[in-house]
Amino acid sequence: MDDLQHGIYRMVAREVARTQPKREKNFLSKKDAEKLIKKYARQYTLQEFLNATEAAYVCGMSQTTFWRFRQEHNVPVHVIDGIKRYKRSELIACVEKYSARGYA
């Protein structure tokens, strides 16, 4: 089981435990379980994707510097629900690739 599946499983298990008293009266239907899985899968997946402000913070630069860096270098962008997002792992790899190495 990979990290995504394991994370989703833990979130659904936590939600099931939280709703245990209610479920004793009304058992959680398959449709409700699928809604929960979809909801938490989306939240967990979006944690890996950052907006521009979060991406600039992760890179350790201001938003202006991040926009300039993005224009000068080929930073991978993903459009999710019409919003530009940056995948954390790809962003870190890109910054490491184009960063100057040496002593300050």
Rg of the chain (C-alpha set): 19
Residue in this structure with the two tokens 């913070």, named with its chain if needed: 57
The reported pTM is 0.54
> Side-chain half-sphere of 86: how many Cα atoms within 13 Å?
24
103 within some domain: no
DSSP category for residue 48: S
| 19-63 per-position pLDDT tens digit | 776 656 666 677 777 787 777 776 666 668 888 998 999 888 899
56 within some domain: yes
87 within some domain: yes
pLDDT of residue 64 exceeding 90? yes
pLDDT of residue 100 exceeding 90? no
What is residue 99's predicted lDDT score, i.e. its pLDDT?
Answer: 79
104 within some domain: no
Query: Of the residues 11, 29, 46, which one is the last residue of a structural domain?
Result: 46
32 and 63 together in one domain:
no
Number of domains in the chain: 2
pLDDT of residue 4 exceeding 80? no
89 or 102: which leads in pLDDT: 89
Question: Cβ neighbours of residue 84 under 8 Å, at least 6 residues apart?
Answer: 51, 52, 77, 78
What residue numbers bound the domain in which 40 lies? Answer: 3-46
54 and 94 together in one domain:
yes
